[in-house]
Amino acid sequence: MQTINFKRVIETTLDEAIARATQALAAEGFGVLTRIDMHAKIKEKTGETIVPTVILGACHPQLALTAYRECSDVASLLPCNAVVREIAPGKISLEFVKPTAMLAILGDPKLQAMAAEADKKIERAISSV
């Protein structure tokens, strides 16, 4: 089974992990376009409680543009999500999407090559958090 993300567990607070993840992504050319506090939305919409989980929608503008020009269907797969989840007090799981896994469904070899470049950037980012 193919994994869809890079994962890493760190010891810090949720807020600190979000800040560090945002900085690490920026260092690789990704900007955070969206932030979804999933736990808050789930609580608001269903009344149910889940562990604190934040989804950061990250985008590398040049890679996104190049991929979009190759195949406009790629827009449905953007942005790249970076999940920051509190799995225990002071223990945070980072889960950054693998672009190669996401773009594999389009079956375009050129897109896969671009996604491999993005994978390297995202893997470096998660490693540096």
Q: Which domains does the chain have, with CATH numbers?
A: 5-128 (3.30.310.70)
The pLDDT value recorded for residue 1 is: 65
Q: Can you spell out the DSSP letters for 68-129? A: HHH-GGGGGG-SEEEEEEEEETTEEEEEEE-HHHHHGGGT-HHHHHHHHHHHHHHHHHHHH-
The pLDDT value recorded for residue 123 is: 97
> Going residue by residue through the chain (129 aa), what tens digit of pLDDT does each one get?
679 999 999 999 999 999 999 999 999 999 999 999 999 999 999 999 999 999 999 999 999 999 999 999 999 999 999 999 999 999 999 999 999 999 999 999 999 999 999 999 999 999 999
